[in-house]
Chains A and B, each alone.
Chain A
Amino acid sequence: MNATALGCFANRYVMLMLGLAIVLFMSLVALCAPLLAPYSPATLHLEHILEPPSSQFWLGTDRLGRDVFSRMLYGGRVSLWVGFVAVGISVSIGTVLGLMSGYFQRWVDEVIMRAVDIMLCFPSFFLILAVIAFLEPDMTNIMIVIGLTSWMGVARLVRADTLTLREREFVAAARLVGVRSGHILFRHILPNALAPVLITATLGVAGAILVESSLSFLGLGVQPPTASWGNMLMEGKAVIEIAPWLSVYPGLAILFTVLGYNLLGESLRDILDPRLKQ
């Protein structure tokens, strides 16, 4: 191993550790929000409206006198929860469809892959926006809709892996002794195709957090008074000229979290699955 290769090696693991650290830190902070928050996110300090950051209110207060720092801690819970559940939905759909598509081939493959093509041509943010606005924006709907519109990548990756795995000897052996298709798919093929699933899931959390915060910023996501980073920025924009700090910190939190998941996902991709490296 020469010096440059060693450099890459180190670099990749630095990325992994950094990503992991950020992800763990943000998850921990979100989990412990009630312990860490100096105030309740809903308490109105009416004598401290729109105060800039100070020792009493670390990141200032909003136009109802609520503590921005506490609201950001609770907003983190919303973002992570939406991210995890949405990705859980999309990864489940994508994995099952990808497995079926790659294993059964023929018309099953044809139908599923054409459905993937159609979904990829959707201006999906338009559709998400329309559906959410119609269904009354709330967290459950957002998670479901994001999940339903983002499974295509996983399906393609899992299908590609299944196509090669199904030709392997251990699958033939399993079939020979009469193992059912469902069992072969989930017990024999899936465990060998987990790497791309894990990678897309990690990157997917980052994507879902961005979509959720965009929706909330447009007023179609998590509804006030529940704090989310997106709707805090929306409220901040209304008073951007007199209280700029309201437009800065929640965005930093989004940036930091999404960065963490992206670093983790990309470095996992480099380490686990060099074929996927673009």
Chain B
Amino acid sequence: MANTIDPLLRRFSGIILRILKKTFWMFLVLIGITLISFFVIHLAPGSPSDMETTLNPFAGETARRQLEALYGLDRPLYAQYLDWVVRLLYFDFGNSMSADARPVLTKIAERLPLTIGINVASLFLVLILAIPLGIITACKQNSLLDRVVTILVFLGFAMPSFWFALLLMLFFGIEHQWFPVSGLTSLNFQELGFWEKCVDIIRHLTLPLIVYTVGGLAGMSRYMRACMLEVLRQDYILTARSKGLSQITVILRHALRNALLPVITLLGLSIPGLIGGSVIIESIFALPGLGQLFYTAVMARDYTTIMGNLVLGAVLTLVGNLLADICYGFADPRIRSTRGCD
């Protein structure tokens, strides 16, 4: 009994140690990111008070100074940074420097569900489509299907997402009017029943979802194919084949599991790209998500909201990497036993 528990315990302590080390490192990275972005953004020309003072002929220099004192912008930069970081520890992102002056955290929380929702849904779709596609093209390397998929992948890589969105709007929204092209809800949303509301939102999200999914599909299916090809070359696949296992068993039981490992890591690494992409896609389809919030904040030089978004983006990225790492550890025994304890 002790013999079976002991190695198990050791494995998990390896993973826990790994997570602790990772978390500490993530903390350092996060500090680095806040430092760089805080100073870059505060030292760049322009100020949040511009909207209400320089651009307003009725406001003078006194009003400007009062406003800057109100936002705390008159103090030395390092003092502002320290103050901001300390408040960050209590999850206080400060108040927005735009006219509504609401807490940044509230503004982000309102918009987070939509952005995360679309991204998770599209990632799910991407995986569902890319994994079988990658397997099939790898197993039938150089077949007609493989060639066609390769060409489509290259086109997918080269296609700007916003242009694809425009084409979809042209075809499905304007030419055929099958789907609405902007916003999250129709004008008569309030009068609809519950199910009609759901259908309405889904109809509004269809085109954005297609854009997100196609954007991710090219890279993911290509990557899956490459990983699968790599695994199929390994000796243990030859062993499995020579044992007389069927092609399906070899591929699904022996190869797939190992080929999925790098894909997990790629998912963790793709988060910054997804967050960046949401700025463009949300602005095209006029969706009230994080990307749009960030865009308006940048335009208004709303420091606190910009910093809040950057920190959130960095945290999501780091957590994504950590999760990928943990999943990797659980899925690959080699990492548990060897690299886990270093």
Contacts and interface: CB of A to CB of B under 8 A. Distances in A.
A29 interface: no
Contacts of A124: 272, 276
A233 B170 contact: no
B186 interface: no
A130 B29 contact: no
Contacts, number: 144
Contacts of B223: 278
Nearest to A132: B298
Contacts of B295: 129, 218
B313 A123 contact: yes
B142 interface: yes
B310 interface: yes
B125 interface: no
7 contacts: A122-B313, A122-B317, A130-B44, A133-B299, A213-B162, A247-B163, A258-B157
B162 A126 contact: no
Of the four ranges (under 10, 10 to 19, 20 to 34, 35 or more), the interface on chain B belongs to 35 or more
A237 B166 contact: yes
Majority secondary structure of chain B interface residues (helix, strand, loop or mixed): helix
Interface stretch (A38-46, A171-179, A184-192, A248-256): A248-256
A262 B166 contact: no
B123 to A, nearest CB: 16
Contacts of A250: 163
B272 A210 contact: no
A258 B321 CA distance: 29
Nearest to B297: A130
Contacts of B169: 240
B142 to A, nearest CB: 6
B280 A206 contact: no
B136 to A, nearest CB: 18
Interface in B147-168: 154-155, 157-163, 166-167
A1 interface: no
A137 B112 CA distance: 28
A237 B159 CA distance: 17
A21 to B, nearest CB: 15
Contact of B44 (A131, A254, A263): A131
Nearest to A245: B170
A65 B41 CA distance: 39
B154 A135 contact: no
Contact of B29 (A121, A123, A262): A121
Shortest beta-carbon contacts, A-B, top 4: A125-B276, A251-B163, A123-B313, A134-B44
Q: Which of A124, A125, A258 has the most CB of B within 10 A?
A: A125
A8 B142 contact: yes
Contact of A118 (B29, B299, B301, B321): B29
Contact of B158 (A4, A244, A262): A262
A96 interface: no
Given A121-B314, A240-B169, A248-B167, A130 B158 contact: no
Contacts of B306: 130
Contact of A247 (B166, B277, B314, B321): B166
B157 A262 contact: yes
Interface string B270-295: 00110111011001100000000011
B240 to A, nearest CB: 23
Interface in B35-53: 36-37, 40-41, 44-46
A126 B155 contact: no
Contacts of B33: 118, 121-122
Contact of B159 (A131, A217, A255): A255
A206 B314 CA distance: 25
